[in-house]
Structure formats: C-alpha cells, structure tokens
Amino acid sequence: MNVFTFAFAFLACSLHLSESWIVDPGPTVIATKGEVWPKPQDQEKYEEYFHLDKSQFKFSNTGKTCSLLEDATTRYYKLIEKLSSIAKKYERKIKNKKLQKGSLGGLSTLEINLINACTGLEYPSLNKEAEKYNLSIPSTSGGKAQLTADNIWGILRGLESFSQLLYINNGDVNIYLNATTINDFPRFGHRGILLDSSRHFQPLSIIYKLLDAMEYNKINVFHWHIVDDQSFPYESTAFPELSEQGSYHPTGAVYTRTDVKNVIEYARVRGVRVMVEFDMPGHTRSWGVAMPELLTGCFENGVPTNQYGPMDPSREFVYSFLNDFLTEAQQTFPEQYMHLGGDEVSYDCWETNPDLNSWMDSKGMSGDYKAVERYFMERVLAIVQPKGIVPVVWEESFVAGTKLTPETIVQVWYGGYPSLKKVVEAGQPALLSSCWYLDHLATGGDWKKYYDCDPHNFDGTNEQKNLVMGGEACMWAEVVDQNNVLSRIWPRASAVAEKLWSSYNADEYENVQKRLEEHSCRMNRRDIPAQPPNHAGFCLM
C-alpha cells in the first residue's frame, strides 16, 4: 500500500468512525414513570393523577390485621419517605407553580382490606392464589384508594405494586401516582433465586439486601445453596466440627443457628420462603475436612492418594449420619421443601476405590457407577420421606434413572426444554433454570436473553405444563462475592421475575426496556446496586 492509498484509507476510516459515533443527547432509553414490575395480569391506568404528601398520607386497615401487615406498612411508609426526600433534594423553586390538567388533588389514605386472618399462615405458601390482590386508585377527586386480598401474601404483593405506582418529576417536590385499577396474581407459584454461599461467603448484610430486592420483584423463594466443595459455612449443633473445620473461617465465615433463623424470619415477613440445599453425594469435599469417613477415598494403582471424591454409598455410617443431620436441618428450616442436590457426581474415585468396588460386586452392580448414584439418592429419598420433607433434586438424578417419589421435584439446569419435557412426561413436578444462569455473562442488556425464556416453551399437554411449578435464576459464586454479587443479579433477575409472574408474552421489548430502566433506578433508590439495564442514562438518587 503506497502513502496515498494509506492516507485515503485512513481518512475514509476516520469519517466512518465519526459518523457512527454521532448520537442524540439524553438517555438511550427513556424510563417510564409509575409502571409496576413485574407487569400485572390486568391493569387499567388513567391520565388523571393524585399527588401524595408523605406528612398527610397513611395506611388504614379496614379488615383483619396482624404483625406481618403492621411490619409491611412500616416498611413501605419508609420507602415513601425516602422517595419524598429525593424529590425534595432536587426541587427547583418555581414561582406560582400550578398543578397540571388532570390533577385529582391529594391522596391521603390507602385502605387495606385483608379478608382472612393471618392465623395458620405463618410461612408463605406455594399456592399462587395466596398472592392474588386487587388495587384501586380512583379516577375521581376525593375517592379512596383501596387494596384488597384474601391473604396476607397478596397484601404484601399489592403494597409493593402501590409503592411502584409512585413517581417523581425532575425539579418537582411532589410524589405522583395515576388513577389505576389492578387485578393481579402470579402465573407460577415457585419464583426463585439460588444464591451460592460456599464458593464465596456472602455476609448477612448481602443476604438481607437480596431478600429486600426479591420483595421488590415479587420473587418468593430463596434457594440457599449453603455448602459445597469449597467451604461448609453452615453451623450444625449436632456436628459443629463440620463448620469449625470445613468453613473458610470458623467464626468469620459461618452462619450460626441464630443467623439462619434471622434470615428465615427476614424472608418470611417479606413473603419469601427459604429452601436450603445440601448437595450430595458430590460437591461434598468440605464435609470431609472434619469427617473424611463420609467420603470415598481415591486410589492410584491400588495405593491411597489422600484425595477424596463423593460420599461413599457403600458405608451405612453415611446414611445414619445423614438421617441425624437432615433431622436437625428440618428443625432449623421450617420450609417443607429441601433440595438434596444430586448433580455432577464424578465417578473417578468410585472407580479406583477397591472397597467400594467389592461392595458393588456384592450388590450386583459391578462396573455400573450410575447404579451406585441411583442407589445413594434412593437411600437419601427414603430417609427424608418419613420426615414429611418434599425433596428437590437436580436433573442428573432423573437422568440416572433414580426411582423418585411422586412428589420429588426435578430442577432442570443443563438439558433445557428437551429435559424439561421428559421430566413432566414422566409425571414429575419440575423447575426450570437452564436459561437463567446469572453467572453466564454476555454484552450489555443481556436481560433480554432471560426475558426470552419461558417455562412453557415446549410442546406438551396442558397437564404436563401444569407440572412445571416455575423456575429459578441461579447465582453461582465462583467469581462473585459481597462486592459484586448484587449488581450481577439485578436487574437481570428482574427479567426472570416478570416471566414467572406475568402473563405469557406480557410485553414488547421496547416497553420492557423502558419499564426496566425505571425499575432499576427504583432499586438503586432503595439501596439495591442494580447495574444499568440498557445503555446511557441517569437516575436521581
């Protein structure tokens, strides 16, 4: 290339680049104002609006009441106070300011009508009807705003929607909300987030913020993947040596019994269930620091290597230990559902261990390590069944041919829709996670790929699709800790929340972008460090 050709090419390239970088000023996506996330099943919104003065506004209980309701109204009034303080912070003094056309004046009260008492509803339910609510902001001046629900869990969801109807305008001290009628309920009963607290220990402050954000997104299951190969941060009273020796730090990286109870209570009052997972027989290396007899010793050329693999299915001690351990865990976690793992079982150490292989010969399983995996999981299922525990397992247990009890829930994480279809065709209830792995990163705005996923996107009968209980977004923690885990989850998991709550294909991308821009800003204002969902933009804080 001669100098003239080079100069021409350089000039052409420069002109191309300069043209491609010409953009309009302002946010890439204009955020909505006062839109509810997840999108309600049925909503009518009007141009008429109220302003809300926090000093005059109150929640008024016209039906049943309980501590759960009292706690909730206190929480939501604080959110209103915070929004009001942000509006006041950025107020611009405008002389002779007048309310615009369509104003209905001030809204002083939200009447809350809880129809059924909270008695017997100490913990949230999987029944999606329990979260149904009706919210009405009148379209006439002097009307009363009303929130009605049969159960306290519906009231909690309705209060969240009411709080999201509120918005502020730049330079205006007022809080506004439009006249609105909402009839709403979730599409799926199980809407979860998995948090891995083993690969990196997650402090309680992070877990509490996660639970706050789950309430803001109407997600109702905290799947606590509490232990794994790397560390055992769960304190067991019966076996305290497990966390004392198997955690990263015996006091600085352990969840005490009190910690766990506090998390469960914090979640409960926000309508969130806490489902613990003790993954087995694989992912158990940290258990073996204190109790190596639980695990399978690895051999090389017939010689022990001082390395360990999964739990040893040939030892009766393992099952007696698990009976005692899971009995205590059931007493700690009141949730009926317990995740027993069953994923990614490596056969390497099983293949080399002479004692295990002799046992396999005696059981007629010579060389069939998948049969060993089945044997172990069936023994564990037999342990939990008399306890009234409803087990959840990863899809490997199903693929291995384990004889699952009819109520055992299969969580699909790698096989996608083909696996999901096989599970429900076999009559097993299922959860979908394949397309909602939050540790899989992509370019900006990758919430769209999560929004594209739907638990019913497979060819099946209505009966089969009804076996899909919902799904979970999974936050595995190999490369996230307290410094970045929340921003990695939000607002990407918000897309999952809407797919599990709202009607099928509830909204168009362009509208979703605008609503998610507002919702991310809303979470930021509420101290949830949600990352930008789209591109350039700004949020008053």
Distance separating alpha carbons of residues 459 and 22, to the nearest angstrom: 46
The answer to whether 344 is a known catalytic residue is yes
Nearest by Cα to 236 from 261, 262, 255, 211: 255
Nearest by Cα to 412 from 456, 471, 464, 489: 471
Amino acid 284 reads T
CA angle 129, 130, 132 (to 5 degrees): 65
Residue 246 — φ and ψ, nearest 5°? -100, -5
Name the token pair of 47. 């141009």
Distance separating alpha carbons of residues 174 and 83, to the nearest angstrom: 10
Q: Which residue matches tokens 């699909």?
A: 412
DSSP state of 532: P
How many C-beta neighbours within 10 Å does residue 74 have?
A: 10
Of these residues, 129, 241, 293, 344, which one is catalytic?
344
Give the length of the chain.
541
Q: Which residue matches tokens 């039906």?
A: 63
Q: Is the dihedral of CA 35, 41, 46, 47 positive or negative?
A: positive
**CB of 139 closer than 8 Å to CB of 179:** yes
Segment (H or E) for 277: strand 273-280
Name residues whose C-beta falls within 8 Å of residue 117's C-beta, 6 or more positions apart in sequence: 64, 66
CA angle 271, 272, 274 (to 5 degrees): 145
Distance separating alpha carbons of residues 235 and 226, to the nearest angstrom: 10
Report, as residue numbers or ranges, the catalytic residues.
344
